[in-house]
Amino acid sequence: MTSTTESSNTVWHRATVTRRRRERQNGHRGVILWFTGLSGSGKSTLAHALEEELHQRGCRTFVCDGDNVRHGLCGDLGFSDEDRAENVRRIGQMAKLFVEGGVIALTAFISPFRVDRQRVRMMVDNSKDFIEVFCDCPLEICEQRDVKGLYQRARRGEIPDFTGISSPYETPQNADLIVKTSEYTVEQCVQKVLALLEERGVVAPK
């Protein structure tokens, strides 16, 4: 620190409570847990079930969910390829702030394009701050679940650019974890993610 201007003081003050100190206080690391997969593949269900488990362990967590973000931060964006890319970029920046705050940020977004997910991975300083969880579920099953009735509407042609129907989903090639949500229960999937978090030293083993 060479300058004594007011702005450098501001920077110094902000840096006083560092990420490491927050993490030490929290008792776990900050990380982005990025759930990706088709609509209905189980991203939100898993993110919230995992958050419940982590919360009960005393961890600081936050779930950023697709629909919520689209009502606010990304309310001006549609579903063109460009808008999807911008959507993911903004969510990535938001999640990065949570990581700096020592929080486990769980994001549940289709995020269909590899390049956009990769860009978020590169946004964070260290590749261990980004854990990509692929909710692997066949389109037919997602369509049968049709949690929000969107597939039916997409099949009727009422929703343009719907992922899996009229817009592509690029399967992750190097996901940190693949959870097959049509083969395992929610609880089993949650345990798989928890095991990875323990293995990577994000949270302490129970």
Which residues are known catalytic residues?
A: 111
- Among positions 47-86, residues that touch ligand ADP (CB under 6 A) are none
Beta carbon nearer to ligand ADP, 45 or 87: 45
Tokens of 96: 């990065």
CB of 134 to ligand ADP, least distance (A): 11
Q: What φ, ψ does residue 191 adopt, rounded to 5°?
A: -65, -35
The residue sitting closest to ligand ADP, measured at its beta carbon, is: 42
Q: Are 82 and 10 in contact (CB under 8 A)?
A: no
Question: Which residues, numbered 152-181, are part of the site for ligand ADP (CB under 6 A)?
Answer: 181
Amino acid (one-letter) located at 168: P
Beta-carbon neighbour count of residue 124 at 10 Å? 18
Place of tokens 């692929």: 134
Residue 100 tokens read as 């700096």
> At residue 44, what are phi and psi to the nearest 5 degrees?
-65, -45
Is there binding between residue 39 and ligand ADP (CB under 6 A)?
A: yes
d(C-alpha 204, C-alpha 191), whole Å: 14
Does position 30 bind ligand ADP by CB under 6 A? no
Per CB under 6 A, 192 contacts ligand ADP: no
Contacts of 191 (CB under 8 A, 6+ apart): none
Given the complex with ligand ADP, which of 44 and 61 has the nearer CB atom?
44
Among 29, 34, 41, 165, the residue binding ligand ADP under the rule CB under 6 A is: 41
Cite the DSSP H helix spans in 33-185.
Answer: 43-56, 66-71, 81-100, 114-123, 139-145, 150-155
| 149 touches ligand ADP (CB under 6 A) | no
- Taking the complex as a whole, how short is the minimal distance between the CB of residue 117 and ligand ADP, in angstroms? 15
| 108 is a site residue for ligand ADP (CB under 6 A) | yes
Beta carbons within 10 angstroms of residue 102's beta carbon: 23
Taking contact as CB under 6 A, which single stretch among the options 32-40, 93-101, 167-175, 192-200 is the one that binds ligand ADP? 32-40
Interface pick for ligand ADP out of 14, 185, 199, 205 (rule CB under 6 A): 185
Q: Toward ligand ADP, which CB reaches closer, 22 or 155?
A: 155
Contact residues for ligand ADP, defined by CB under 6 A: 37, 39-46, 108, 135, 145, 147, 181, 184-186, 189
